[in-house]
Copies of this chain bind each other. A is one copy, B any other.
Amino acid sequence: MAELDAYITKNEERFLEDLKGWLRIPSISTLPEHTSDVQQAAEFAVGQLKSIGFEQVEAIATQGHPLVYGEWLKAPGKPTLLVYGHYDVQPVDPVELWDTPPFEPTVRSGNIYCRGACDDKGQTMLVFKALESLMAVDGKLPVNVKVLIEGEEEAGGESIEHYVRTMPERLGCDAAFICDTHMPGPETPALISGLRGIIYTEVEVHGARRDLHSGTYGGIAPNPLHALAIIISKLKDEQGHIHIPGLYNKLRPAAQVEKDFWQNDPLNFAENLREEMGVEQLAGEPEHPPLERISARPTFEVHGIAGGFTGEGAKTVIPAQATAKISLRLPPDLKSQECFTLFEKAVQEAAPEDVKVIVRNVHGGEGLVVELDNPAIVAAATALKEVYGKEPVYLREGGSIPVAALFNEILNVPVVLMGFGLPDDNLHAPNEKYSLSQFYKGIRTVARFLQNLA
User: Is there contact, CB below 8 Å, between B182 and A216?
Assistant: yes
Q: Chain A interface residue count: which class? A: 35 or more
Residue A21 at the chain B interface, CB threshold 8 Å: no
Residue A318 at the chain B interface, CB threshold 8 Å: yes
CA gap between A338 and B399 in the complex, in Å: 47
Residue A116 at the chain B interface, CB threshold 8 Å: no
Residue A373 at the chain B interface, CB threshold 8 Å: no
Residue A451 at the chain B interface, CB threshold 8 Å: no
CA gap between A362 and B311 in the complex, in Å: 13
Q: A277-B217, A303-B317, A315-B30 are in contact. Are A352 and B309 (CB under 8 A)?
A: no
User: Is there contact, CB below 8 Å, between B214 and A327?
Assistant: yes
Residue A314 at the chain B interface, CB threshold 8 Å: yes
Q: A208-B278, A214-B299 are in contact. Are A200 and B284 (CB under 8 A)?
A: no
Residue A387 at the chain B interface, CB threshold 8 Å: no
User: Is there contact, CB below 8 Å, between A430 and B218?
Assistant: no
List 5 additional contacts besides A30-B315, A217-B273, A219-B284; criterion CB under 8 Å: A91-B309, A213-B428, A213-B429, A220-B293, A304-B309
Interface residues of A (CB under 8 A from B): 29-32, 90-91, 93-94, 97, 154-156, 182, 196, 198, 200, 207-223, 225-226, 228-230, 232-234, 236-238, 240, 270, 273-274, 277-285, 290, 292-295, 297, 299, 301-319, 323-325, 327, 329, 352-354, 362-363, 397-400, 423, 426-430
CA gap between A292 and B316 in the complex, in Å: 19
Q: A229-B233, A302-B223 are in contact. Are A398 and B318 (CB under 8 A)?
A: no
User: Is there contact, CB below 8 Å, between A305 and B308?
Assistant: yes
Chain B residues with CB under 8 A of A363: 314
CA gap between A283 and B399 in the complex, in Å: 40
User: Is there contact, CB below 8 Å, between B210 and A294?
Assistant: no
Chain B residues with CB under 8 A of A308: 302-305, 325
CA gap between A308 and B93 in the complex, in Å: 9
Within 8 Å by CB of A154, from B155, B233, B304, B314, lies B314
User: Is there contact, CB below 8 Å, between A428 and B362?
Assistant: no
CA gap between A299 and B230 in the complex, in Å: 16
Within 8 Å by CB of A282, from B229, B327, B354, B426, lies B354
User: Is there contact, CB below 8 Å, between A311 and B232?
Assistant: no
User: Is there contact, CB below 8 Å, between A212 and B429?
Assistant: yes
Chain B residues with CB under 8 A of A91: 309, 311, 313, 315
Q: A229-B232, A304-B225 are in contact. Are A238 and B310 (CB under 8 A)?
A: no
Shortest CB distance A119–B (Å) = 9
CA gap between A29 and B247 in the complex, in Å: 49
Q: A304-B309, A314-B154, A314-B200 are in contact. Are A218 and B279 (CB under 8 A)?
A: no
Shortest CB distance A18–B (Å) = 26
- Ordered by A's residue number, 15 sampled pairs between the chains whose C-beta atoms are within 8 Å are A29-B313, A30-B313, A182-B216, A210-B277, A211-B430, A213-B399, A217-B273, A219-B295, A219-B297, A226-B236, A233-B233, A304-B315, A305-B308, A309-B325, A314-B362
Chain B residues with CB under 8 A of A182: 216
Chain B residues with CB under 8 A of A217: 273, 277, 294, 398
User: Is there contact, CB below 8 Å, between A318 and B290?
Assistant: no
CA gap between A364 and B397 in the complex, in Å: 49
Q: A215-B329, A216-B427, A398-B218 are in contact. Are A318 and B305 (CB under 8 A)?
A: no
Chain B residues with CB under 8 A of A228: 229
- Looking across the interface, which residue of chain B has its beta carbon closest to that of A427? B213
Shortest CB distance A363–B (Å) = 6
- Looking across the interface, which residue of chain B has its beta carbon closest to that of A152? B313
Interface centre among A283, A308, A323, A399 (most CB of B within 10 A): A283
- Looking across the interface, which residue of chain B has its beta carbon closest to that of A297? B219
Closest CB pairs A-B (n = 9): A215-B399, A30-B313, A219-B293, A209-B278, A304-B308, A218-B299, A229-B232, A208-B277, A306-B310
Shortest CB distance A116–B (Å) = 14
User: Is there contact, CB below 8 Å, between B223 and A301?
Assistant: yes
User: Is there contact, CB below 8 Å, between A218 and B313?
Assistant: no
